[in-house]
Amino acid sequence: MNNSITNVRNYNAAFIKVITMEKGSVVKIDYEMWVEGSEKLFDTTKEDAARNAGIHNPQIPYAPLTTIIGDGRLIKGFDSHLLAAEIGKDYEVAISAKDAYGAHDPSKVQTIPLIQFKKQNVKPHVDMQVNLGQTQGRISRITDSRAFVDCNHPLAGKSLRYRYTVVGEAKDPCKKAGWIMKANYPREVEFESEIDGKSVTIKVPEPCKYDVQMWPLAKYRAVGDLRNFGGFENVFFVEEYIMPQQPEKEVVAEGKKED
């Protein structure tokens, strides 16, 4: 797997100034991701690609990932590669486990006697999710008497391969504010914003008004990001409850006789 980004930069360095990302760039990225050694697509932002690979999940809103570069919210290897990316170019990058989800830690594999499952009337199988009190894992192997439950990240110890394109960057402060919101909220909504000096007012989208699961934390984190990466000081969230307009009553026909 060649690291095409490095090639491009070396080639151009002496001739033209390559405009690339910087820490805090707010971007949208389309990507496909494979585990090295497997030809099967593991994850993607593209609906068609997911469908073609037979991994399409109707629960997932397929759309470019809105994120902030260099902030540690992506795996290290992908994040640092993005810092040197140009908008609209296709890249392919191999990332070692160390720069992805870390090495596989054998001490995080526990063995559970099969009798434990039987007591709870559960039939264990490989890949089954198991709750072990404080932690969760998946069954990686079953012997005659025991199940091995692996509590590592499913991608721990794996080298990954990304094919990606930065499809857009938000430069305009208003757009940037909206995208920073999006980078913090996993559902597919658009955020409208208005700017007045160092203050930004975000209109709270309809689904967020009633979302007590993800919205409170997203809102909290977004304030920090709007300050750190958007250059704003004050943040206002506005929830609007506008009275629905009544349909106008029919005009009574003129000259109608009174009873």
Q: Which residues bind a copy of itself (CB under 8 A)?
A: 198, 210, 212, 216, 219-220, 223, 227, 233-243
Cα angle, residue 24 at apex, residues 50 and 21 outer, rounded to 5°? 70
255 vs 165: CA distance, rounded Å: 69
Residue 234 CB, nearest approach to a copy of itself (Å) = 5
Q: How far is the CB of 204 from a copy of itself (least distance, A)?
A: 8
Alpha-carbon distance of 169 to 171, in angstroms, equals 6
CB of 104 to a copy of itself, least distance (A): 36
Q: Which is nearer to a copy of itself, 98 or 198 (CB)?
A: 198
Closer residue to a copy of itself, CB minimum distance, 89 or 198? 198
Q: Are 30 and 169 in contact (CB under 8 A)?
A: no
Residue closer to a copy of itself by CB (options 56, 227) is: 227
CB burial string 148-184: b at 16+ within 10 A, e below: bbbbbeebbbbbbbbbbbbebbbeeeeebbbbbbbbb
Quote the least distance from Cβ 219 to a copy of itself, whole Å.
8
Q: Output the CA–CA distances (angstroms, integers) from residue 249 to 58, 137, 244, 254, 259, in the order listed.
A: 43, 62, 15, 14, 21
Q: Which C-beta is closer to a copy of itself: that of 50 or that of 226?
A: 226
Assess contact for 141 and 147: CB atoms under 8 A: yes
> How many CA atoms lie less than 13 Å away from 47 in the CB half-sphere?
6
**Is 47 or 239 the residue whose CB approaches a copy of itself more closely?**
239
Nearer to a copy of itself, 164 or 232 (CB): 232
Q: Which is nearer to a copy of itself, 21 or 204 (CB)?
A: 204
> Nearest approach, Cβ of 170 to a copy of itself (angstroms)?
20
The CB-of-243 to a copy of itself minimum distance in angstroms stands at 4
Inter-axis angle of helices 215-228 and 173-184, nearest 10: 140
How long is the chain? 259
Nearest distance from C-beta of residue 235 to a copy of itself, angstroms = 4
Alpha-carbon gap, residue 175 to 43, rounded angstroms: 27
